[in-house]
Amino acid sequence: MYTAEMRELIKKVEATRPERLGHDYSRMTPDERDQVLKKYHPDYRASGFRTLSLGANEGSKVPLELADLLEAKSRLENVNLDLTKVDYDVDVLIIGGGGAGASAALEAHKQGAKVLISTKLRMGDANTMMAEGGIQAADKPGDSPAKHYLDVMGGGHFTNKKELVSALVKDAPGTIKWLNELGAMFDKEADGTMVTTHGGGTSRKRMHAAADYSGAEIMRVIRDEVHNQGIEIVEFSAAVELLLDKDGKAAGAVLYNLETEEYAIARAKTVILATGGAGRLHYQGFPTSNHYGATADGLVMGYRAGAELAFADTIQYHPTGVAFPPQNFGALVTEKVRSLGATPVNIDGNQFVFHLETRDVEAAAIIRECADKNKGIETPTGVKAVWLDTPLIELIHGEGTIEKRIPGMFRMYKKFDIDMRKEPILVYPTLHYQNGGLLINEHGQTKVENLYVAGECAGGVHGNNRLMGNSLLDILVFGRRAGSHAGAHSKTVEGKALSLDHVKKYHQSLKNHGVKTDRISPMLLPHYTHGRENDK
């Protein structure tokens, strides 16, 4: 599959491999990290952002593409809905069927609440399913929740909300145990010891994995459990607007059947937004490793209803996205590949950065290598990339390691005739994660009463950078916390008349602030054409 030119360049990687094997490239100093971030990380590119002119975060900067959706009109602007005709009447409405939504549903159900999950695509179709590398928890001797805490804070550049970090690390071991008791198959030694590895920026090997199907394994188990518990699910039904009661408290949502194009009214005592991330907005033109449905819908609906955004200007670009073959462009090359020992190498076969810096630093260093130092490898589609020297893994850990520990990666490349056991792969940063989101407290509550947020749609846990393995942890810890709290709290809430007045007010506010727009949000699904226009 590699072109003849690429195969020539691979010889340079092979030539330097023996001298690189077993020699650690030095880590950056705090100052060096700071410099490379400021100069090369996309979050520092002013042209990618603009300030919001209205709403709870008026005056703060967010990515242009997100600003466009936040400063847009509702899909319901010219739709007449009878809000007294209720199609679903439940205690807890969960919007989103990924890991956060599913775990929230299980806990709310356990509280005796009547739960409905509405999801835009299929139950389980979410970024959770695609998480490969693993989930962090400090459960081994020599590690501690306090060490985990310090790693999370340092990774987030000490901007994280402390009470959320505290909840995250405290609930982590219990979360792994919960999964284990549901039957999730973690990688273990024969005596039961969890097989754990490092992630970028971790001080202990605390990454638990299920090969490189970690997220898929977790998702398929908790989805199965949601089915077993008989929790009601309505698929291919995207929420398009939250419903509030006359006191401004969350009280349900308007759902949109993507196939029949009909609206339905879901009334609830409490609402949990678990809609995931925003990768499909393709900030600054980056490709993404995200699920097709990751279009920031929850941020849009929550913001309109008055919830506050936190860290919306910080995005995670995963350092290693697929740069070649083009069929997998932007797909994730799990960090586990580097955890196992693969290192980034430039066109001359030289390593240019330590392979386990935090993701933001690693990504910035790769961008510097391609953009500034001009040491990237150009692919046939014109994309610049660097090598990730994967054959090192088998040299370090023995033959067969790649097939055993990262079978998904191996399969993905093999389908396009690249054998990552023998040949290095080409990578470039890909838009991976929304570090921020709607601000929550340790129960997942927002400032809008009865509105909870969990998972990638929530903000504050990771500050402005997230470490590998803390997102699978985050969605389960805060999914469960939000579900439990919302389930219990729903019993104290009195159902009131539903209203969309906040949407009308938002439209008025757009006018008052001079925002003239025909844009409609939430986006729901991206529309790709793969360059058809240029081919005609």
Partner 1 sequence: MSDKEMVDIYILGKKYPVPASLTIMDSMEYAGYQLVRGCGCRSGFCGACATVYRIKGDRELKVCLACQTKVQDGMYLTQLPFFPGNKETYDINELEPTADTMGRLYPEIYKCIGCNSCTKGCPQELNVMRYIGYAQRGELEKCAHESFDCVMCGICASRCPAGITHYQVGLLARRLTGKYIAPESKHLTERVNEMEAGQHDESIEKLNNKSVEELTELYNARDIEK
Residues 206-225 contacting partner 1, CB under 8 A? 210-211, 213, 215-217, 220-221, 224-225
**Does residue 150 belong to the site contacting partner 1 (CB under 8 A)?**
yes
Contact 228, 202 (CB under 8 A): no
Q: Which of residues 516-535 bind partner 1 (CB under 8 A)?
A: 525, 527-532, 534-535
Contact 317, 286 (CB under 8 A): yes
CB of 211 to partner 1, least distance (A): 7
Q: Which stretch binds partner 1 (CB under 8 A): 4-12, 173-181, 475-483, 485-493?
A: 173-181
**Does residue 258 belong to the site contacting partner 1 (CB under 8 A)?**
yes
Q: Which is nearer to partner 1, 236 or 352 (CB)?
A: 236
- Return the exposure string of 228-257: e unless at least 16 CB atoms fall within 10 Å of the residue's CB, then b: eeebebbbbbbbbbbbbbeeebbbbbbbbe
Helix (H) or strand (E) holding 90: strand 88-95
Q: Which is nearer to partner 1, 45 or 227 (CB)?
A: 227
CB of 41 to partner 1, least distance (A): 19
User: Is position 466 annotated as part of the catalytic site?
Assistant: no
Q: Which of 19, 31, 181, 518 binds partner 1 (CB under 8 A)?
A: 181
**Does residue 397 belong to the site contacting partner 1 (CB under 8 A)?**
no
Q: Which of residues 402-461 bind partner 1 (CB under 8 A)?
A: 407-408, 411-412, 415-416
Task: Tell which residue, 50, 54, 52, 55, has the closest CA to residue 305.
Answer: 55
CB of 511 to partner 1, least distance (A): 31
**Does residue 193 belong to the site contacting partner 1 (CB under 8 A)?**
yes
Q: Which of residues 285-314 bind partner 1 (CB under 8 A)?
A: 289, 291-292
**Does residue 261 belong to the site contacting partner 1 (CB under 8 A)?**
no
Q: Which of 15, 185, 371, 497 binds partner 1 (CB under 8 A)?
A: 185
Residue 376 CA to residue 370 CA, distance in Å, equals 4
**Does residue 262 belong to the site contacting partner 1 (CB under 8 A)?**
no
Q: Which is nearer to partner 1, 126 or 250 (CB)?
A: 126
**Does residue 153 belong to the site contacting partner 1 (CB under 8 A)?**
yes
Residue 94 CA to residue 444 CA, distance in Å, equals 13
CB of 412 to partner 1, least distance (A): 6
Q: Find the angle CA(493)-CA(495)-CA(501) to the nearest 5 degrees.
A: 110
Q: Which is nearer to partner 1, 29 or 84 (CB)?
A: 29
Q: Which is nearer to partner 1, 217 or 423 (CB)?
A: 217
Q: Where are the beta strands (DSSP E) in 119-277?
A: 135-136, 196-197, 207-208, 232-234, 237-245, 250-257, 263-273
CB of 257 to partner 1, least distance (A): 10
Residue 155 CA to residue 150 CA, distance in Å, equals 8
Q: Which is nearer to partner 1, 81 or 331 (CB)?
A: 331
Q: Which of residues 1-40 bind partner 1 (CB under 8 A)?
A: 30
Q: Which is nearer to partner 1, 31 or 82 (CB)?
A: 31
CB of 521 to partner 1, least distance (A): 17
Q: Which stretch binds partner 1 (CB under 8 A): 226-234, 246-254, 371-379, 484-492?
A: 226-234
Within the chain, what is the greatest distance between any pair of CA atoms?
72
CA dist list (Å): 289 to 122, 329, 518: 19, 9, 29
Q: Which of residues 117-146 bind partner 1 (CB under 8 A)?
A: 121-122, 124-125, 129-130, 132, 138-142, 144-146
Q: Where are the beta strands (DSSP E) in 351-488?
A: 377-378, 384-389, 425-434, 437-439, 451-453, 458-459
Task: Determine which one of 75, 109, 338, 368 is catalytic.
Answer: 338
CB of 325 to partner 1, least distance (A): 9
| Tokens coding 487 | 């389930």
Q: Which stretch binds partner 1 (CB under 8 A): 108-116, 179-187, 442-450, 483-491?
A: 179-187
Virtual torsion, Cα 277, 470, 476, 139, nearest 10 deg: 170
- Pairing type for strands 451-453 and 88-95 reads unpaired
CA dist list (Å): 417 to 324, 330, 414, 420: 11, 18, 5, 9
Helix (H) or strand (E) holding 360: helix 359-371
Task: Determine which one of 318, 368, 489, 502 is catalytic.
Answer: 318
Q: Which of residues 67-86 bind partner 1 (CB under 8 A)?
A: none
- Pairing type for strands 384-389 and 425-434 reads antiparallel
Q: Which of residues 311-340 bind partner 1 (CB under 8 A)?
A: 326-328, 331-332
CB of 95 to partner 1, least distance (A): 18
Q: Which is nearer to partner 1, 81 or 153 (CB)?
A: 153
| Tokens coding 364 | 């910035």
Q: Which is nearer to partner 1, 44 or 158 (CB)?
A: 158
User: Is position 338 annotated as part of the catalytic site?
Assistant: yes
Q: SS3 for 61?
A: strand
CA atoms 370, 375, 377, 381: torsion sign: positive
Catalytic residues: 318, 338
